[in-house]
A and B are shown apart, each in its own frame.
Chain A
Amino acid sequence: MIKLAEVTKSYWDQQVLKGVNLEVGRAETKIILGGSGSGKSTIIKLVLGLEKPDSGHIFVDGEDITPFREHELMHVRRKFGMVFQEGALFDSLTVGENVAYKMREEKLFSEEEVDAVVRRMLGFVDLEDAIDKMPAELSGGMRRRVAIARALVGNPKIMLYDEPTAGLDPITSRTISELVIKLRDLEGVSSVFVTHDLRTAFTLASQFAVVRGGGDVEFMGEDGKLCLINTRFVMLQDGKILFEGTDEELRNFSSSYVQEFLA
């Protein structure tokens, strides 16, 4: 669904990406790991068309979006849901208005339809009660969850997460990873998950969600017998892809950079 071919990008005189090739398939999750400044977030911004690559091409559903102008990119962006670092909620709008933003902007829906979707999305992240609160009144974890709810409006096929668990406690991070796993396994959403939080990354790579009778969702581990193949790691170093593969392969990969990162 997404394909990057020989993409390079530099800011002023610093080259951030030096020829990156990456592919994300349907219902597949790519976890992008790497130190600060290794160009992780830049990949997401390029895929969304928020920034333009210096060279190379980016394909979304087989369409080369590199030469697109801003207004042409608008219909490409509809396929994506994006969760920014810290959430990036509009702080002048309430939680409900934030989630409703995209639908109100498209001007195609009645207020009742908008309200129903907003409640359903906030229900998915378990925050129905916060609908009339301002983003400033929420905790960091709640803000990320609202950001996920906002990104889910319009049923995007691809979710992009930019360090959604950075600076959160382990329990809240766990809630966020469960949301991501649910979207991957139950809704068939592809995702690109940028992080340097290893605990969350390995949770995503080793657990999966199943629906039990009665609609309850249960999370199960791989426990040695299974191997999740729809979640793969990508390790970036100095603007280049150093490694791509499953979590087991990553642990066994013989590179001092990777081993130092995992230690």
Chain B
Amino acid sequence: MNFIYLAIYEVQEFFLLSLRAFTNIFRKPRYLQDTLLQMDTIGVGSLLIVILTGFFTGAVLALQSAKSLKSFGAVGLTGQLVALSLIKELGPVLTALMVAGRNGSGIASELGSMVVTEQISAMRALGTDPTRKLVTPRMVAATTMLPLLTVLSDLCGLLGGWMVSFYKLRLSTSLYWSAAMKAIDYNNLLEGISKPFIFGFIIAMVGCYCGLRTHGGTQGVGRSTTQAVVFSSILVIAADFFVSKIILDLRY
């Protein structure tokens, strides 16, 4: 009973924090400087890992799918398969997981350290609302940067797929790209771009929430960091399922 009570309490606190972080956008004071700094750490900082994961995901997709497609004599469709799975699923989800591991943990450990060294209390004592100065900038930065990173990751994945198709499968460049373009229509793009907004929000808010509820010294910071990565990864994948389901239901 106590466990259920505690779980409901945590969910309630998480939603209250998210609500406050969101409504802060519409009221002064706003911390533009901090938001830009977070955009730099989340956006620019994650460029390399997102490019690399995107590239290799696309490459391995082409490699594996060509094998199955061959048995149907449809190797020419490799481009379409790579593009479709990248843009709708793998691009958004893998980028989100990478950012969750890199920035979700960073947010949780930074805020967690600030809690245990009483910097959060000091901030409140000096007249600043930490949800405005710390949470909202991270939320805005993650929700705006993740879609951009996802687009980049998709492009690198398509490039990786093309390299495998061209050099390994001996497909012509035009065949690969024309097949790929067929998969990139308005609906798929909308699905692929709308997901990272939600994932970015989840990563930032779970990171902030886990960080701010840290207790128990340095050990607590470690615990919060682990929790942030675990919870945000699970939530990203779960949210992916539900968003896909909703979009499919809406379309048909």
Q: Is residue A238 contacting chain B, with contact meaning CB distance below 8 A?
A: no
Give the number of residues in A that approach B within 8 Å (Cβ atoms).
23
In the complex, which of the residues A80, A85, A150 contacts B118, with contact meaning CB atoms closer than 8 Å? Answer: A85
In the complex, which of the residues A48, A80, A88 contacts B119, with contact meaning CB atoms closer than 8 Å? Answer: A88
Inter-chain contact A86/B117, CB cutoff 8 Å: yes
Q: Is residue B127 contacting chain A, with contact meaning CB distance below 8 A?
A: yes
Residues of B within 8 A of A150 (CB): 126
Q: Mark B145-175, 1 if CB is under 8 A from A, else 0.
A: 0000000000000000000000000000000
Inter-chain contact B125/A80, CB cutoff 8 Å: yes
Residues of A within 8 A of B127 (CB): 74, 77-78, 102, 105-106
Residues of B within 8 A of A82 (CB): 122, 125
Alpha-carbon separation in the docked complex, A45 to B119 (Å) = 13
Residues of A within 8 A of B129 (CB): 70-71, 74
Q: Is residue A186 contacting chain B, with contact meaning CB distance below 8 A?
A: no
* Residues from 188 to 240 in A contacting B, C-beta threshold 8 Å: none
Task: Tell me the smallest distance from the CB of A105 to a CB of chain B, in Å.
Answer: 6
Alpha-carbon separation in the docked complex, A51 to B121 (Å) = 10
B: contact size bracket:
10 to 19
* Residues from 118 to 152 in B contacting A, C-beta threshold 8 Å: 118-119, 121-129
Inter-chain contact B118/A86, CB cutoff 8 Å: yes
In the complex, which of the residues B29, B122, B128 contacts A84, with contact meaning CB atoms closer than 8 Å? Answer: B122
Inter-chain contact B121/A88, CB cutoff 8 Å: yes
Residues of A within 8 A of B124 (CB): 48, 50, 77
Task: Tell me the smallest distance from the CB of A51 to a CB of chain B, in Å.
Answer: 9
Q: Is residue A257 contacting chain B, with contact meaning CB distance below 8 A?
A: no
Alpha-carbon separation in the docked complex, A45 to B121 (Å) = 9
Tell me which of A70, A85, A86, A105 has the highest count of chain B C-beta atoms within 10 A of its own C-beta.
Answer: A105
Residues of B within 8 A of A124 (CB): none
Given contacts A84-B125, A106-B127, A150-B126, 12 further A-B contacts (CB under 8 A): A50-B121, A50-B125, A74-B127, A86-B117, A86-B118, A88-B117, A88-B121, A90-B122, A90-B123, A102-B126, A105-B127, A105-B128
Interface residues of A (CB under 8 A from B): 45, 48, 50, 70-71, 74, 77-78, 80, 82, 84-86, 88-91, 101-102, 105-107, 150
